[in-house]
Every structure is written in structure tokens, then in C-alpha cells.
Structure 1
């Protein structure tokens, strides 16, 4: 199906950039939550204020300053866009040189209104989409473009342009956004003490220097960065394979961050916050420590099987503007974003639909099957009112996840998967 806003294609940016690490959504948001759990809300406010004083901020389109929320779970749902920049500015000499500033990783996190589920959507960097008119940081605005790879939006109009593009693509309003660079991934993986990653087939990538044998590796520092950067070494060598391999890391990261050992180590948690703050650009809406804490508190009680990582559906092998790029599957994506808009949790078509860069871990721990949600009764005994009369209440019932089309790959944080090396 043609996108409803599609126009005639224009010239594309053809030169591909060196792939770079994923922006780690769960790490950054878990910091404020963990500080609250370990040290109490009062100290959390002070600690996150200290961290937030070090970050750079940028105003999104139409964004204005407003009073910060109280330190409690944010009221309602959250849409937060996190992008990874391939810019080497201020990152040292270890990554070589590159021109421009592309968002080679673009991820949208949605937390449901009732804080019962969270969905993280990865957008392929080479997916060709319409780009709306974006504000020019120097003043005025850039013209809309009918067909461009999504990863040019950061260089075209900065973080606000990437947000506007994803809003147009998904139909969602995105009030929170952040941009992270190379060193942030290294420092945060060091602070968390490493992330266990399963590799089912050996990975040998001459472009990033990543060499990993089959088995489980605890990755941090430069090793974690290399794993997240590798594209040629996993799946079929494409960015689609890299996304599913990155989800292996992300799901393990969430399990690590929710473990009692990690949440009880204040040194690690505050170190993650400092690592993030020195390597990120935040929307003004995220600069308030109260906002960070409030968003994190909304995540703390979500079960692992209701934290889902998926990839925006697309296909390769097209022609014209899609030659060598990814063509969006708008109809299938509509199922995903309809569920997100309705605050429904989502699941892939089957547990093995992990994408071409990942497979189900053959040695995964066995877990008990989740309980079937009970059917609510219209008259359930409740509390006793002040006048002595009995009250009734309707029990909360877990929402049934929306099964996604086969073209949408991914996994939940409860599923153990392994990265699949590129055999070619």
C-alpha cells in the first residue's frame, strides 16, 4: 500500500555510513527508577539533578518549558524516541572520521497508559519514508521530502526532525526524545557491569573487529560497543539482521537491570546516569530530574513478558527509490501502531519469529507458563463503605496481547535468544 502522504521521489543520499551502537533505552530510563529504589525519592531528586545539570538539551518543535511533575509514576502513557548518532564529534580518535550526523539507530519506546506494558520499536536505518517540513536550527524551516532514508533526518534538522518524521510515520505524539553517541554505550555498559549475550554461531566481522565464538559472553566496554555495531557479522549482513541481534542484547539488558543484584548496587546505577549524561542530547522535556524519575517509576512493575522489542516491518529488493534500501510495509505496521495507540501489549506471530539475526536460545531456562487471565465478574466483593454497606469492584484483568503480522519480528524481555552469526 502506498503511504497516504507519499509524493514523487527525489534524490537520495546514497553513501552508507559506518554502523554504530544502539541507543540503550532501558539503561537510561532505569537509572532514575533504580536510584529511587535504592536511596529513596529525596536523594533520587538530588542525584538526578546533579546528573541532569551536565546534559545538553534541544527544544522539539512547539516545545515550551513547563512545570515538572511530582516524583511519582508519570500520569498516563509515555512515548519516547531514542536515536543513536554516528557523529564522531567529541568521541576521540578510536572510531575514525565521518561526515555528517546520521541517526543510524532510531527506537521508539511506548509505555501504556496503565503502565502494564511497554513496546520498543526499532526503525531500519535504510528505510525510505516521507520526511515532513522540519525546523532549521539556524532559523526558518526545511522543505518536506517525499522519500528519504530515515537516518538522514538527524543531519537534516536535528533531533526535532527525527521526532517529526517518526510522528508522521506512526501517528503517535512523541513528547520525549534523546540522542546518544558512541562513548555513552561504552561507559553505560561498564557501569552496569556487562551484559550476558548468547551467540549461537561464531561472529567474525572484519569491519568492526568483532570476533566471538559460540557461547555466552558477558560484554561491556569496547566489546559491547563492537557487538552492537556489527552488521556484516550477524544475520545476512544487513541492518535488519543487526536490529534482531541488538534485541538479543536489549532483552538481556532489561533482565540484568531488573535483577536484584543490579538494582541493589547504587555505584553501578549512578555510574550509568553519569555515563548517559555526558554523552547525550535531551529534549527539554527530559531535562527535569523529576520527569526522568516519573518515567522510570512507570516501568518498575512491568513484567518481563510485557516488555516487547519489535522491528518496523519492511522488505528489501525493490527498485526505484527503494533500490538497495528498505521499503516500509505500511499495512502491517498499521496493526502494530493501532495496538500501541490502544495501549495493547503486542507479541510476535510465534516465539521463533526473532528476525534473521537472532534465534531462540536452545539452552534457555524453563519457566512456568503464564496464568490465563481471569474473566471479570460484575459483582465481586470489595471493601466496606463508611456507612457499613458492602461495595463491589471489578478486578483488573490482564490485557490479551495483539498478535502481530509475520513480517514484524522481535521478542519479549522474558525470552532468551542468541545472536546468529553471518555464515556468508
Structure 2
């Protein structure tokens, strides 16, 4: 490509830096009032429960919620603290253009409603580990009978691509499908569209990503040189959407590229202590509630913040991003990917038993290990003083047994992914 052509094309991409126009002069009393209102909101949500103001501020912008098949009505809302017990939450990214900015295409012409991103987050019962499973959009799965929004049901299907489930009953159908595939109960779910991803990336202040080789994708207007980039707003969205610009140009390569972004996001949230700060989490929850479709069980700030706080003490090495085990195949004359049943069962059984997992496979087609990743020095244990053990005393009760550590499940090399402790870079495909 010639240099003038490259410059011309790059000028079309969306800048990661906001351009500010002329601002109206602000009345000093209005400015003070807005500042006090913002400060009051942070103070109110920093206690053990959310005040009426915080509820109003969230509720006025909240999107209509969705009822899941396994929701229990009347369950009490937790206080702002780490949620008790384990969590299974499904996050769906829709490619629908309905209600979105015209830059993403004509909503009348592009009428599809596909879940091109489907991710299940599992937090263990004791909050010692978290696993995020990405399901390839072209994964052939059985789809159960799903309720129609206007009444009635869609018929069950033995083998369809998982990204069609939004078309058969919306978010609730995607949840039912993943429950059938994994055997896990999923009480929380959220659906996000393009604008929602933009606002959420703005709420966290952008994410630093490493690019090993230049990314050049005309489809998403994503052009990134090798190096580290802070992505926010439209640039973050297009990075997460790019498929042709990374790895082998496939959806599987896009998944591993998304995991580069997500693992960096987790490191950033933990290093900035966002996950321990209810005030910061309030801002993210507000962005989520006004830009996402949430299940009824998730459509309140307490629950959202409580789930986020459950991640605060999990070591980076125990936050694992995996691609659902798959292999290329066909079903009904269509090409796609088929589940690898044995490694998939190993993965899901480990989650059900709350056993920690370790990866032996590579990071996937869209990413590579960062050669400049910081190397953590192994801690040197101090030498213990040599002392003689006291003679046993029959009158002293025996010490309680030390709880056993769950056995670590080593997944086969066919399972690709990374941990949040792995520093990785996107692998460009120009």
C-alpha cells in the first residue's frame, strides 16, 4: 500500500481522543450544585446500602429488563458488599443496529439480531477463582424451546449456530441454550449493543492494549501500529469487533483478541482498586444500567456492584479466560465449529465442582505472549528457626484438621485462553 493511500485511509478512523468544541459558560451556582450532587451520590453509595438518591439516579435511565426462566421472584436485594456464594452471569453482545448510531449501518437494511459475542462468567463459591468462557458465534448447539415475547414458544432445534438464539426468544433464549449446553444454572444475564460498549469503555477510562503486529482492518476502520494503545469509546468498540484485522481473520481469532482486552481490563481495575471502591463501581453500574438490557435479577445497582466486588480478592492467575473447546465441522450443510465434548466436560465439571483450572494450550490465533511482559520475582521464604517440637500433651485437644485445597484441573492443549496474569498482545493480520 502506498504511503499517501495509507494516510488517507487512516484519516477515516475514529480518534481515541475526544475533540472539544466551544463550551457554554457555566453559571457558578449551577456548577457548585452539580458538584455537590455528584459528591453526595458517591458518599451515599459508599455505605452499606444504597440511598434513595442513588436508586433514583440509576432508575431514571435504566433499560427495560428481561425475565429469565430460572429467576426466583421476591429474592431480597443484597447490600453493597461482595455477593454471597457463587455467580453465573451471561453477557451477550448483539450486532443489532436498532437504536444505534448510523455509523454502524442502516438499521432498516441490517435487520439481523445475532449474539456475535456470548460469554459466561463463573465466580467460585468461595470467591477464590473466576472463569470467563467465550462461545464461538458459529458453534453448533441444540437450542431448547424458547418463549416468544408475545406469547407462545419457539420449537426446539437439534443443531443451530449459537449466535441465532437472540432471534429465537431474545436474551432469555440465549441463557436457556447455554444452560442446556453446560448444565449450569445462570440466574444473571445482560445484553449490550454497540453504543453500550462505547459508554462502558468510557466509564472505566479506557483500556491499555498491546499490539504485537500492526492491525489494519477496513471493515471496522481499525488501524493500530505495533505498541501499546489506550482504547476508549468508538476505538475500543471497533477493536473488540475486528475480525479481519487479527490472527487468521476468523471469529476464533477475534475471541483471543478480545481476551487481550479483557485481561488488561481486569489488571487495570484491580491496580486502580476500582473493585474495592463502591463510588467507582457506582459509575460503571450507572453506565451499564442505562446502556444494557439486563435480566430482572441484575437490574439493580446493589446486585451489580456486589458481583463486581466478589472479584476484588481473586488473584490475577485465577481469573481465566477460555474459549469453549471446539473444532471445525459442519451441520446441516453449514460450515462452523462443533463442541469438543471431552475437554468441554472437563471444563464444565471443574466449574461445577469449584475446582481451579490451569491452561496448557496457547492463547489462540489472535494473540501472542507479550515478550516485554514484566517478570515477577519468586518470593524468597525466610529460613525458619530450628526448634525442638514440644512433647505431646494428652490433655490438650487435637488441632482441627486443615481444610483441603481443591485439586487443580489441568485442561488439555485443545482449550485455548489466558489468565489475567498473562500479559499478551494482539496479533495483527494485514
Q: Which band: TM-score by shorter chain? A: 0.7 to 0.9
How far off its partner does 1:41 sit? 2.6
> Which stretch of the first structure deviates more once superposed, 255-264 or 132-141?
255-264
Of 391, 406, 412, the match for 1:405: 412
Of 74, 99, 104, the match for 1:66: 74
**Pairing of 1:353-392 with structure 2 (within 5 A):** 353-369=362-378, 392=399
Question: Is the aligned partner of 1:185 residue 2:162?
Answer: no
Q: Taking structure 1 as reference, are residues 155 and 310 closer, same or farther at Cα in structure 2, changes over 3 Å only?
A: same
> Separation in 2 of the partners of 1:334 and 1:38?
41
Residue aligned with 1:325, SS:
strand
How far off its partner does 1:47 sit? 3.1
Question: Is the aligned partner of 1:253 residue 2:261?
Answer: no
> Separation in 2 of the partners of 1:342 and 1:75?
17
How far off its partner does 1:235 sit? 0.7
Question: Is the aligned partner of 1:287 residue 2:269?
Answer: no
> Separation in 2 of the partners of 1:368 and 1:121?
30
> Separation in 2 of the partners of 1:322 and 1:398?
47
How far off its partner does 1:90 sit? 1.4
**Pairing of 1:1-400 with structure 2 (within 5 A):** 39-43=46-50, 47=54, 50-53=57-60, 54-71=62-79, 72-97=81-106, 98-260=110-272, 262=274, 269-316=281-328, 318-321=329-332, 323-350=334-361, 353-369=362-378, 392-395=399-402, 398-400=405-407
Q: Taking structure 1 as reference, are residues 362 and 148 closer, same or farther at Cα in structure 2, changes over 3 Å only?
A: same
Normalising to structure 1: TM-score of the pair? 0.81
Instruction: Give yes or no for contact 1:201–1:213 (8 Å, CA) kept in 2.
Output: yes
Residue aligned with 2:376, SS:
coil
> Which stretch of the first structure deviates more once superposed, 273-282 or 128-137?
273-282
Q: What is the CA RMSD across the aligned residues, in angstroms?
A: 2.6
> Separation in 2 of the partners of 1:45 and 1:118?
32
Q: Which has the higher contact order (CA 8 A, sep 6+)?
A: 1
Aligned to 2:18: none
Normalising to structure 2: TM-score of the pair? 0.80
Instruction: Give yes or no for contact 2:285–2:305 (8 Å, CA) kept in 1.
Output: no
How far off its partner does 1:275 sit? 2.0
How far off its partner does 1:344 sit? 1.1
Instruction: Give yes or no for contact 1:69–1:294 (8 Å, CA) kept in 2.
Output: no
Instruction: Give yes or no for contact 2:44–2:50 (8 Å, CA) kept in 1.
Output: no
> Separation in 2 of the partners of 1:48 and 1:360?
43
Instruction: Give yes or no for contact 1:117–1:303 (8 Å, CA) kept in 2.
Output: yes
Tell me, which stretches of 5 or more residues in structure 1 are unaligned? Answer: 1-34, 373-387
Which of structures 1 and 2 has the bigger CA Rg? 2
> Separation in 2 of the partners of 1:184 and 1:108?
18
> Which stretch of the first structure deviates more once superposed, 104-113 or 258-267?
258-267
Question: For each residue in 1:279-332, what CA deviation from the matched residue of structure 2 results, as whole angstroms up to 9, or x when unmatched?
Answer: 11111111233322332232221111111000001122x344364211111121
Residue aligned with 2:121, SS:
strand
Q: Taking structure 1 as reference, are residues 150 and 201 closer, same or farther at Cα in structure 2, changes over 3 Å only?
A: same
Question: For each residue in 1:346-404, what CA deviation from the matched residue of structure 2 results, as whole angstroms up to 9, or x when unmatched?
Answer: 12115xx10111110000011134899xxxxxxxxxxxxxxx98783444565443111
> Separation in 1 of the partners of 2:153 and 2:173?
10
How far off its partner does 1:49 sit? 6.0
Instruction: Give yes or no for contact 1:203–1:211 (8 Å, CA) kept in 2.
Output: yes
Question: For each residue in 1:163-187, what CA deviation from the matched residue of structure 2 results, as whole angstroms up to 9, or x when unmatched?
Answer: 0000000011111111111111111
Aligned to 1:415: 422
How far off its partner does 1:42 sit? 3.3
Instruction: Give yes or no for contact 1:199–1:418 (8 Å, CA) kept in 2.
Output: yes
How far off its partner does 1:221 sit? 1.0
Residue aligned with 1:272, SS:
helix
Residue aligned with 2:49, SS:
helix
Q: Taking structure 1 as reference, are residues 193 and 70 closer, same or farther at Cα in structure 2, changes over 3 Å only?
A: closer
Q: Taking structure 1 as reference, are residues 48 and 238 closer, same or farther at Cα in structure 2, changes over 3 Å only?
A: farther
> Separation in 2 of the partners of 1:171 and 1:272?
30
> Separation in 2 of the partners of 1:285 and 1:320?
35
